[in-house]
Amino acid sequence: MEEKKRILSGIKPSGELTLGSYMGALKNWAAMADEYDCFYFLADLHAITVRQNPAELRRRTLSQLAQYIACGIDPEKNTIFIQSHIPAHTELGWVLDCYTMFGELSRMTQFKDKSAKNADNINAGLFTYPSLMAADILLYQADLVPVGDDQKQHVELTRDVAQRFNNVYGETFKLPEPFIPKVGARIMSLQHPENKMSKSESDSGGCILLMDSPEDIRRCFKRAITDSEMCVRCCKDKPGVSNLMQIYAVCTGKTMEEIEKEFAGRGYGEFKTAVGDVVVETLAPIREEATRLLADKAYLESVYRAGAEKASAVAERTLRKVYKKVGFVAR
């Protein structure tokens, strides 16, 4: 029997999970369990490159874990763990820091973006976190990394660093490939459709959170930016409408052509109401199940403990190999 390819991905608990998180990542993750060996983590180490309220970070981490499971990521079929529970991430992160060039890190788009947004806290972690991200991936010898278009740069850097290490010490790391789903890979803001949907703009109505009430969801879609043409059609010149069509397509399974036919001759008001309704219908069971799971702290603890145990066994194997190759005395 052919061995399953391994997939690894994680999301920072630095804010609440959004409709974009679900459609661009979680929905696809849930569908991969039968075909792949899946490792999914809560990237709390990455979250602290920006100052966090400690109590809120803990709350969001557990809430995100509950939402992972509620989105269909079954802990019996997938390895789910909290990043900071596996010391090998930071240990390999330091080794890879020493094989990642300053110039490579300074070219990273997200470092430039985050530095502009956090001018009073441009810390070393913000600069070197791509090395930690490389460690996240390489520790588990992942074949595929589900990412949005904006994250491909990180996978490319990971491959470069892994190849550099392999060239010096011989075959150590598997070179991962980015895995980008065709539908729903990039859900945009409802208010600024030229930008990706971001949890940082939930107050503006541009972002739908997985735990939002049906009333809030419908209100956001009614206010969604469209254009003056009043025609439901997918094209580059209509980013707002195209984004709504993408959301509707992911919720209903319909193609863009089918959606255009369904709403031919009907106004944007009717279209936005329909999109809001299918999103409410999609998210209601997720919100209800996540709420139920959050009330069962013992169960959530059992999930992240079991996940850490399984992830540690894989991660430690890679770390021991790396430590031996760079010349460290065995523990």
Active site residues: 114, 196, 199
138/248 same-domain check? no
43/169 same-domain check? yes
93/149 same-domain check? yes
254/179 same-domain check? no
176/215 same-domain check? no
- What average pLDDT does the segment 101-114 reach? 84
pLDDT band at 1 (very low <50, low <70, confident <90, very high): low
Q: Which pLDDT value is given to residue 11?
A: 94
Residue 193 lies in a domain: no
Cross-strand partners of 38? 7
229/142 same-domain check? no
304/268 same-domain check? no
Q: Which pLDDT value is given to residue 181?
A: 65
Residue 1 lies in a domain: no
How buried is 189 (Cβ within 10 angstroms: 0-12 exposed, 13-18 middle, 19+ buried)? Answer: buried
Residue 46 lies in a domain: yes
- What average pLDDT does the segment 153-161 reach? 94
Q: Which pLDDT value is given to residue 201?
A: 65
104/168 same-domain check? yes
Residue 192 lies in a domain: no
What is the chain's mean pLDDT, rounded? 92
- What average pLDDT does the segment 251-272 reach? 93
Q: Which pLDDT value is given to residue 183?
A: 53
Residue 331 lies in a domain: no
State pLDDT tens for residues 30-61. 989 999 999 999 999 999 998 999 999 999 99
Work out the percent of the chain whose per-residue pLDDT is above 90: 76
Q: Which pLDDT value is given to residue 202?
A: 58
C-alpha count within 13 angstroms, C-beta hemisphere, residue 283: 26
C-alpha count within 13 angstroms, C-beta hemisphere, residue 248: 27
**Residue 127 predicted with pLDDT over 70:** yes
Residue 50 lies in a domain: yes
**Residue 262 predicted with pLDDT over 60:** yes
Q: Which pLDDT value is given to residue 116?
A: 73
Residue 234 lies in a domain: yes
Q: Residue 219: which domain range?
A: 199-292
Q: Which of the given ranges, 113-117, 132-136, 197-201, has the highest pLDDT on average? A: 132-136
177/306 same-domain check? yes
CATH at 123 = 3.40.50.620
CATH at 264 = 1.10.240.10
State pLDDT tens for residues 196-220. 888 766 567 899 999 999 999 999 9
Residue 301 lies in a domain: yes
- What average pLDDT does the segment 251-258 reach? 93
- Residue 209 is given by DSSP the state B
Rounded-to-integer distance, Cα 2 and Cα 242, Å: 40
Q: Which pLDDT value is given to residue 199?
A: 73
Rounded-to-integer distance, Cα 44 and Cα 67, Å: 15
pTM assigned to the model: 0.91
Rounded-to-integer distance, Cα 184 and Cα 244, Å: 11
